[in-house]
A and B are shown apart, each in its own frame.
Chain A
Amino acid sequence: GAVVSQHPSRVICKSGTSVKIECRSLDFQATTMFWYRQFPKQSLMLMATSNEGSKATYEQGVEKDKFLINHASLTLSTLTVTSAHPEDSSFYICSAVPIQTGETDTQYFGPGTRLTVL
């Protein structure tokens, strides 16, 4: 149980284009999902907290107009990288917290999306 999927797993795009990444909880519902970015050989850096039915909460230094987050249902959150540039190339990982289990702090991670901007 507690499976999180991400799509796509890998994307290569040209500079200036927008890329949408989907994060889905497959066997549970989640009011809260998180988006992280991980550069090579570094730790996970939280970008934003995605709340179903409300605006996302962004971490300091993360541009909300560049990284658009939509949490439209209890099983889906999307991250859109707008006008992507080479410095946005990274591994983007989402996580979700199940609402059914009562453990409101356990995060389950998706497999990640490798974004390469040429």
Chain B
Amino acid sequence: GENVEQHPSTLSVQEGDSAVIKCTYSDSASNYFPWYKQELGKRPQLIIDIRSNVGEKKDQRIAVTLNKTAKHFSLHITETQPEDSAVYFCAASPGGYSTLTFGKGTMLLVSP
């Protein structure tokens, strides 16, 4: 089955800095890669996703890059703000109503 590794497990940055979270996956059949943000005790919220026919996708301060050859994808957050503090999960799926396999999460702390 799919195995998703996520690094780092914790990331502390100063407000305004950039943050990068990296994930690798094992199943070459995976073609859908979402990123979720989860605040304590709340639901995971989809913040951005990318499909294998695209190498990069950007939405304001958030971007995701995908390297299918190397089987890794990354989340980039620029101009971080304290409200970006949360746990971020990457995931991978073959798509088509298939299950998501999640990474272990990264706790991002943005200090004012």
Contacts and interface: CB of A to CB of B under 8 A. Distances in A.
Interface in B39-96: 41-46, 49, 89, 93, 95-96
Interface residues of chain B: helix, strand, loop or mixed (majority): loop
Given A43-B102, A43-B104, A43-B105, A32 B44 contact: no
A34 B21 CA distance: 26
B90 to A, nearest CB: 10
A105 B98 contact: yes
A112 B39 CA distance: 12
A77 interface: no
Interface residues of B, number: 23
A9 to B, nearest CB: 10
B86 to A, nearest CB: 13
A112 B99 contact: no
Contacts of B100: 34, 46, 107
Interface of A: 4, 31-32, 34, 42-46, 49, 91, 93, 97, 104-112, 114
